[in-house]
Amino acid sequence: MLHAPFTRRLAAASAALALALTGGAAASPAVADPRAVEKTHTAVGTGGAVSTVDPEASAAALEVLRKGGNAVDAAVAAAATLGVTEPYSAGIGGGGYFVYYDAATESVHTIDGRETAPAGADFQTFMNPATGKPYLFGELVTSGVSVGVPGTPATWERALENWGTLSLGEALRPAIKVADRGFVVDETFRKQTDDNRARFANFTSTSELFLPGGALPTVGSIFKNHDLAETYRLLARQGTEDGFYAGPLAEEIAATVQAPPTVPTPTLPVPAGTMTTADLAGYEALDQDPTHVEYRGYDVYGMAPSSSGGTTVGEALNILETFDLAGMAPADALHHYLQSSGLAFADRGKYVGDPAFVGVPTKALTDPVFGKERACLINPDTAAQTPFAPGDVASYDGVCPAAPAALADEQDTENLSTTNLTVADQWGNVVEYTLTIEQTGGSGIVVPGRGFILNNELTDFTTTSFDTADPNRIEPGKRPRSSMSPTILLNEDGTPFLALGSPGGSTIITTVLQTIVNRVDLGMTTPAALAAPRASNRNFANSIGRAFVTAEPGFIDEFGDDLAPYEYLLVKSGDAFTSAAEIGAETAIEFLPDGRMLAAAEPVRRGGGSALVLTPSP
């Protein structure tokens, strides 16, 4: 049960909502079912903490913690609830990366739950048979072609088996309740539905669920998803192996991919995919070692490939380790941050892919000697005018080399949606978990009668070039490269200091990196570090080859003049690569020296998040 002050706030909010929805006839307090609607962006206390983008998900995690569940139990409960309330960003039709700190052993473990390409997928997958040319990206995002084999259900079950105390069915109970009784529609949910209206209208199953009668959901109304509740009950009874990756549901998923349920006269081409029940039966969530670097006395752990998050954040931190950012003026420190990111992204594009298919030089990319050598390319007085070339991972010694010819990284097609959650329990265990269905609204295809959207993650592969040397080219069974960067920092004594992660496509990497710099080097509090305006250098070039940095309007307003002497080309978010005016939407927990936990959520971006602690304190 939720602690009393929080429950009272929720009850009050629910009563007010009921009053609004019934024109003044509020539900009886004896039968009222309070819904979590209030968002608190910072909370400090003991006994456990959670931060997500959604108050229902945070409340679900807190309920599990209060009943004695651990961080893993609570993380799965929160993630499943996000599948209800954030269906356009996450759910069982997608995948993600799960990072776990075990307090008993002071060790970090990870699960790679990334989607995989079906066995029938190869470079021809992205070719339009009618034209003999690659599909346009806009044609791929709403299609069966783009759907990868989902990894989220297997990730939940694997995490609970490895470290949890609850069964999958027990962990799903809060989400089932929310799906059945419904959640309060907010501005973000309505806008995301509106943004996807044209895509969703092409599918009978999607429009019936999210656009009944062709109408958008009304802000303040209650949205219920009984189909998803029943799907969760199926997983609770049968487990994921029999209930999702085999049996009737697997057959329905494969049939939906192979023959998307379009309306009689769709406005989009919606090419069909090749996924089969054998592809689903063969899926496995992978236990793997985290990446590790040391930074300013902290041990920084992240996701190893198939995610590029751990290697790219780690390499950038190794580059920055060679500079005294704390002793610099803010603009100078930001200059070094931006340049380190560009260098690390150059190596990401050259070397990182699925390690089952590509020889990823993870050890070299996270080697401080390699970082020291890459740091030589940062000019303290000016920004690089063209994208950085990748480094030589086969030959490095930390000595500054002659500058190589520039080579631009490919402009990423990885989308901005996704969601992230952070949980800690009373025993000091910590979970940092990033999960996604790729684009906001995924493929746009709801499995009929099942209540969830299928991902379009295969668009994270290189879709317009089929160079066999490309580490991110599509191959059967391969996991597309990701930028998800769930990260945990430990103190020198092995105890946790900070856990953080974010949505945001390839800007996830720079969001996590900038926040670490803000907190560790620039001395900001964790809430301030999350709220600070952001800029992202992913080593991209404009049409004439000039390197540019994508920046939030607030960053340009605050730092544009100070960075002008470095000759940066600052491009406002929304005008170039990014499709939104915001970069990221983080969640984090900091572990204070006095034993309390500080949960922090995004205060503004994407409508703000929800941070809660089990026992609040001043």
Q: Which of 19-33, 74-88, 169-183, 592-606 has the lowest mean pLDDT?
A: 19-33
- What is the distance, to the nearest Å, from the Cα of residue 507 to the centroid of all Cα atoms in its chain? 10
Q: Which residue in the block uniquely carries the two structure tokens 């945001």?
A: 504
- Is 481 within 8 Å of 472 (Cβ atoms)? yes
Residue with tokens 């990260």: 487
Packed helices 55-66 and 4-21: angle between N→C axes, nearest 10 degrees? 140
pLDDT of residue 125: 87
Angstrom CA distances, 323 to 293, 320, 365, 393, stand at 16, 5, 18, 22
- Using alpha carbons, list the distances in angstroms from residue 508 to 131, 289, 497, 515: 35, 21, 20, 11
Task: Supply the pLDDT for residue 572.
Answer: 86
Is the pTM higher than 0.95? no
Averaged pLDDT score across all residues of the chain: 91
- Give the residue among 254, 251, 255, 257 at the shortest CA–CA distance from 270: 257
> Catalytic site residue 419?
no
Residue 485's nearest CA partner among 499, 467, 473 is: 499
How far apart (Å, rounded) are the C-alpha atoms in residues 49 and 598?
8
The answer for residues whose C-beta is within 8 angstroms of residue 396's C-beta and 6 or more apart is 364, 367, 369, 370, 373
CA proximity to 403, closest of 375, 371, 381, 365: 375
pLDDT of 20 reads 32
C-beta atoms surrounding 332 within 10 Å: 17
SS3 content of the chain, % helix, strand, coil (to 5): 35, 20, 45
Q: Which residues pair with 446 in a beta bridge?
A: 453
pLDDT band at 574 (very low <50, low <70, confident <90, very high): low
Q: Which of 137-141, 165-169, 239-243, 433-437 has the lowest mean pLDDT?
A: 137-141
Summarised one tens digit per residue, pLDDT across range 455-484 is: 999 999 988 777 788 999 999 999 999 999
Give the model confidence (pLDDT) of 52-108 as tens digits.
999 999 999 999 999 999 999 999 999 999 999 999 999 999 999 999 999 999 999
Q: What is the mean pLDDT of residues 472-497?
A: 97
d(CA 231, CA 449) in angstroms, rounded, equals 9
Read off the pLDDT of residues 162-180 as tens digits, 9 standing for 90 and up. Answer: 999 999 999 999 999 999 9
Residue type (1 letter), 386? T
Return all residues near 359 (Cβ < 8 A) that are at least 6 apart: none
Exactly one of 42, 152, 274, 418 is catalytic; which is it? 418
- CA 80/CA 90 separation, integer angstroms: 9
The separation between CA 27 and the C-alpha centre of its own chain, rounded to angstroms, equals 37
Under the banding of pLDDT at 50, 70 and 90, the label for residue 592 is very high
Strand pairing category for 570-572 and 547-551: parallel
CB 474 within 8 A of CB 115: no
Q: In this predicted model, what pLDDT tens digit does every residue of 265-313 receive, in sequence order?
A: 999 999 999 999 999 999 999 999 999 999 999 999 999 999 999 999 9
pLDDT digits (tens, 9 = 90+) for 324-346: 999 999 999 999 999 999 999 99
Please tell me the predicted confidence (pLDDT) of residue 387. 96
User: What H or E segment, with its residue span, contains residue 432?
Assistant: strand 430-436
Beta bridge partners of 433: 98, 421
**Cβ contact 541:338 at 8 Å:** no
Residue with more model confidence, 412 or 125: 125
Q: Is the predicted pLDDT of residue 198 greater than 70, yes or no?
A: yes
DSSP state of 52: E
Sign of CA dihedral 82, 84, 90, 94: positive
Q: Is the pLDDT of residue 29 over 60?
A: no
Q: What is the pLDDT of residue 573?
A: 77
Within 10 A of 4 (CB to CB), how many other CB atoms are there?
Answer: 8
